[in-house]
Amino acid sequence: MSQVYDHPRDPIGWSAAIAVVFFGLCLIRIAVPAEPYFDEIHYLPAARALIEGSEYLNREHPLLGKEAIALGIALLGDNGLGWRIMPALAGAGALFAFARAMWFATLSRFAAIAYAILLASGFALFVHSRIAMLEAFFVAFIALALWQCAAAVREPETGRSRLALAGVALGLSMAAKWNAVPIAILPGLTFLAARFAAGRRRLFTSRRGIPVPGVSLVEAALWLGLVPLAVYWLTFLPAYFFDRGALPANGLIALHREIIALQESVVEPHPYQSRWPEWIFNLRAIWYLYDPIEGAQRGIVLIGNPLTMLLGLPALAWAAWRAFAGDRAALAVTVLYAVSLGFWIVVNKPIQFYYHYFLPSCFLLAALALALDALWRSGRRRLAAGTLAASAALFAWFYPILSAAPLANEQSFTAWTWLDGWR
């Protein structure tokens, strides 16, 4: 009776502070360049057409990401800030949501804070939070869904509302980009597997047992199955009202056939294309920008943090081992990484790029956060904290070519291109 139990304090303040600092860093030179760069040339015309209701452009992707970009333009103008403000908000939101998911999965202050620092300094989230592409949006909604699912399991008294919000987020993630689909189906399948493993006699209607007591399997199918599909469909409503290329009343299925055909039709080799073995070892970069702009040479490169992308690999192997030992957080991270990367190993998409590793890399960093937390709890705190400090230091070193800072000359890129594949 006299035993004092450890009740760790929720690090929500730290998570929010890191997200705010991250957002502030994103805003520095966010309007540079003042012209569209890289894949913005595809998404900005589609966003403008949405505002005008003129024509259904960029039909190879769903609409939500372009709707979000259009909202930024409507609020702040058709300029660099207006194009990129919504991705910046989505990126900061993704960082906060991932940190909250880690907290509810582990109840570890250090793991949640470490994960936020690793994501903020991991390069990929930062770069995609400063460009009008679709990546930040689908990752942000996946992070929100995982946060709500983890919280529903941890606090089943709020399970119903959290699963409902998770379902909405899953639908929005798929509506931003189809890359989310392999992950979006996992919460429902996990609920089914957990309830089946619980051995309930009334499998479909019983509200007892894991993962969320009080919610039946039938109700979970509503929140995690039907709601995502309904939300996904609702994001296509503007497509029925374009002046040109509008969808007919029964045209959504035909549109999805067209999307698949367009995705599979890109077969022309690209100088920046790469495959998954290169992604996991951080061997191939993409230069989103490298041009003289506003009187100076500037660049924006997409690579992973050289330290954490490699340290994450043994951390992932450790997480897989911990999963077999019954660690549910490690199991979740291992499965999320395997599914999000495995999709790109088997999918019929001939030309692939390093940015397809964005979501898997988030789960890789989650594994590293769990491993650092284990070091922290075992007393090796200098090693755990030093790894976070080194990750932040590398981010600071690469910051000029992640943020379009003025460079000395056109050969300045050589200071950061440590591998031939980064050139």
Q: What is the predicted pLDDT for the residue at 423?
A: 87
Nearest to 78 by CA among 40, 22, 117, 113: 40
pLDDT in tens, 172-189: 999 999 999 999 999 999
Quick one: pLDDT at residue 7? 65
pLDDT of residue 1: 39
At residue 399, the pLDDT reads: 97
Q: For residue 208, what pLDDT is reported?
A: 82
pLDDT higher than threshold 90 for residue 65: yes
Decide which of 294 and 127 is more confident.
Answer: 127
Question: What pLDDT is recorded for position 196?
Answer: 85
Indicate whether 153 pLDDT > 90. Answer: yes
Residue 6, pLDDT score: 56
- 162 pLDDT band, cuts 50/70/90, is very high
pLDDT tens readout for residues 238-274? 999 998 888 888 888 888 888 888 877 777 777 888 9
Q: Is the pLDDT of residue 122 over 80?
A: yes
pLDDT (average), residues 90-110: 97
What's the rounded mean pLDDT across residues 223-239?
A: 95
User: What's the rounded mean pLDDT across residues 78-88?
Assistant: 97
Residue 200: pLDDT band (50, 70, 90) is low
408 vs 208, more confident? 408
pLDDT over threshold 80, residue 412: yes
- Give mean pLDDT, residues 87-91: 98
pLDDT of residue 253: 87
Is the pLDDT at 2 greater than 70? The verdict is no
Quick check: 328 pLDDT over 90?
A: yes
Average pLDDT, the chain: 93
The pLDDT tens digits of the residues spanning 330-343 come to 999 999 999 999 99
For the stretch 378-409, pLDDT in tens is 999 999 999 999 999 999 999 999 999 999 99
Query: What pTM, to 2 d.p., does this model score?
Result: 0.94
For tokens 């997409």, name the residue.
Answer: 302
246 vs 303, higher pLDDT: 303
Query: Average pLDDT of 319-325?
Result: 95
Statement: residue 199 has pLDDT above 80: no
| pLDDT for position 349 | 79
Q: Where are the domains of the chain?
A: 141-234
